[in-house]
Amino acid sequence: MMMCKEATRLMSLRQDRPLTFQERVSLRLHLSMCGACRECDRQFTLLHEAGRRFGPEHDAEQDDDGH
Amino acid sequence: MNEKEDRLQRLTAVRPRLVSFALMHLRDRSQAEDAVQEAMMSAIEKNESFAGRSGYETWVFGILKYKILDAMRVQKRHRRWQPLEDEDDDDAIDRQFQQNGRWQESARPSSWGEPEAAFETENFWQVFDACMIALPDNAARVFSLRELMGLSTDDICRELDIKENNCWVILHRARLRLRACIEKGWLKEETA
């Protein structure tokens, strides 16, 4: 049975590469039972998006509104 | 206003963001400012080679990326970074989990609300900034290359000469640290 710490490893990994079938299944199973990990998963995704916006993409969006 | 002046003004306006972007990667203010200076100079010199208008800042960021990568290579050669293999921050991560691998009660993630709402809060970005600065150097470098610059872990490994597995371990720790730091700094203040 996978524990939260290991689940966060897979959540992090999937921001960087596609998970294998096995990994996807065990992560999904864990997330279905663990609310804290579901939040963590959302936070990792938010961090990913925040990183993207920190750089140029954020700017491009601002420009669309601003000009 | 002619086009050249307009672009100069936009360069000046975007400069602070360029500097904090470079700072996240280089971890050294004067080196970050140098990289930005070089990028701005080369943007001015190559002004003609920029075609569109709306993507000007994006274009400048693109130039900056190469300057940052150059500077990182020099850093790595001269400064002797801590070996990327052994980040000694296991402690900080382990504090978030119990022995059995479950979350510590004090570290259990709570909801940050809608991402869009967070991104619109000035305070979120201040905390994000502070938490990035608080990361160990290597974690911050790898995280920045991955999430700010958008490089693949494959590219990062080649750039930093580490194994991809190391890269994933470093990113996992960096994300756990960041999430804990942001949750403490941002959420607590929002609800206070």
Which residue did the predictor score with more confidence, B42 or A61?
B42
| pLDDT computed for residue B178 by the predictor | 95
Question: Which of the listed CATH numbers 3.30.70.1060, 1.10.10.10, 1.25.10.10, 3.30.1550.10 matches domain B90-191?
Answer: 1.10.10.10
Strand partners, B103: B97
| pLDDT computed for residue B189 by the predictor | 60
Percent of chain B that is helix, strand, coil (3-state, to 5)? 75, 0, 25
Chain B residues inside the 8 Å CB shell of A53: 119
Q: Pick the closest to residue A7 from A36, A47, A50, A49 (CA basis).
A: A36
Question: Which of the listed CATH numbers 3.40.50.300, 1.50.10.10, 1.10.1740.10, 3.40.718.10 matches domain B3-79?
Answer: 1.10.1740.10
User: Is the separation of the CB atoms in B157 and B163 below 8 Å?
Assistant: yes
Task: Return the residue matching tokens 């990990």.
Answer: A37
Pairs of residues, one from chain A and one from chain B, whose beta carbons lie less than 8 Å apart: 113
Percent of chain A residues past pLDDT 70, beyond the cut: 84
Phi, then psi, of B103 in degrees rounded to 5: -60, 140
List, for residues B59-94, the tens digit of each pLDDT value: 899 999 999 999 999 888 886 666 665 555 567 788
Residue range(s) in chain B whose domain bears CATH number 1.10.10.10: 90-191
Q: Pick the closest to residue B72 from B137, B163, B164, B150 (CA basis).
A: B137
Enclosing H/E stretch for B6? helix B3-26
A24–chain B nearest CA distance, Å? 17
Inform me whether the pLDDT recorded for B46 exceeds 90: no
B66 touches chain A (CB under 8 A): no
User: Is the separation of the CB atoms in B53 and B28 below 8 Å?
Assistant: no
Residue range(s) in chain B whose domain bears CATH number 1.10.1740.10: 3-79
ipTM over 0.95? The verdict is: no
> What value does the mean pLDDT take over residues B9-35?
93
Q: Where does residue A6 fall: left (phi above 0), alpha (psi -120 to 50 degrees), or beta otherwise?
A: alpha
Residue stretches of chain A with pLDDT short of 70 = 57-67
Phi, then psi, of B136 in degrees rounded to 5: -60, 150
Domain segments of chain A as ranges: 4-66
In 10 A of CB B37, how many CB atoms?
15
A23–chain B nearest CA distance, Å? 15
